[in-house]
Amino acid sequence: MKSKQFQKFLENLKDDFLFYAPKKTESGLRIEKISTISEIDFSGAMPVNTWKQLFFVHGEKVFDFKDGSIVENKIEAPLTVAFGINVLDLRATTLYEHVFEEDVYYQKRRNSTLIIGYSDSWPIDFKKYKIFSHDFQKDILRHLIFDVFIAKVKKDEFIFFAGSKTGQNILEKYAVGDYKNVEYIGSSPKTPLDKKMLSLQAKMAKSADKKIWDDLGKICIACGKCSIACPTCFCFDFEDSSDPDGQGRKRKWGNCFYNDFSKMAGDFKTLDTVKQKIYFWYVHKFVRIPREYKMPGCVSCGRCNKVCPVGIKINEVLKKI
């Protein structure tokens, strides 16, 4: 497809959907709702914020309390396009697809959202990203969940891939006849599993006594910015409000760096020190997620490095475990 037709395709989508895409703003490249196609950034650079905000909404009301009963809040999710998700962020959204498989609220939003991945070169051409947490698969698209993926392979040539029936239907609807179907075969190759992921998992599992955790315990201020910025952090809390104006149960993003995260009866906390908290964060990324979902829990997006006020660099930490 040529640039002109590609522009037309985007215009059509824009007319029919709420359209989220990376956009240059005063506070950096951000995923935002756009009003014209010209606002989209096609560089493939890593946005400051993450796509998780679209599917896993902070502060979402999950239940209403009505006449002494608890009633599921039926979310009205508007038809939305999430356009321009780069391959690393698609790894994170793919993880979410597995994590929230049984979550009605996530599914409601996901089912009304079209996930459109994009790369400004062939998807395998990943050299612009510094990947330190996993192996980059040659057949990367087969390990990602998306509806449509578009690769700009030459200055004036775009190749389309459909990753789902919904994606196929959309491409047919907008008369993109020339596309390839890609079948999702799982988040990682089965044999052998991602070697880098496995090696980090094994190292992490044995690293509890390493000096790095004492060092980080002294430097880290447990501000929790890395968790907020991380596309694979998904912990949450429920919060009840008995306020007569807005009675109900809400779901809020959690944060393992905050003191109430592990607080139990009698104010007893299992994560009491900063060292315990930051170790817990790394175990989630490099032990629990690989064990449970057979995929890396860190996509090497580097967002945590950028937001950390004390300069902790995840890629440097991993060298010391």
The binding site for another protein (CB under 8 A) comprises: 62-63, 65, 68-70, 72, 99-100, 102-104, 107, 205, 208, 234-242, 247, 249, 254, 256, 261-266, 268, 270, 276, 279-280, 283-284, 287-288, 291-292
**Least spacing, CB of residue 1 vs another protein, in Å:** 36
Q: Decide whether 14 or 275 has the Cβ nearer to another protein.
A: 275
**Least spacing, CB of residue 260 vs another protein, in Å:** 9
**Least spacing, CB of residue 202 vs another protein, in Å:** 12
216 contacts 312 by C-beta, under 8 angstroms: yes
Q: Decide whether 146 or 279 has the Cβ nearer to another protein.
A: 279
Q: Decide whether 158 or 286 has the Cβ nearer to another protein.
A: 286
What whole-number distance in Å separates Cα of residue 294 and Cα of residue 95? 10
**Least spacing, CB of residue 252 vs another protein, in Å:** 11
- DSSP-derived secondary structure for 2-14: -HHHHHHHHHHHH
Of 117, 119, 113, the C-alpha closest to 56 is 113
For residue 61, the SS3 value is strand
Q: Decide whether 106 or 126 has the Cβ nearer to another protein.
A: 106
Q: Decide whether 189 or 254 has the Cβ nearer to another protein.
A: 254
**Residue 207 CA: distances (Å) to CA of 135, 214, 220:** 21, 12, 18
Dihedral sign for Cα 191, 197, 199, 205, please. negative
Of 197, 203, 206, the C-alpha closest to 295 is 197
**Least spacing, CB of residue 207 vs another protein, in Å:** 10
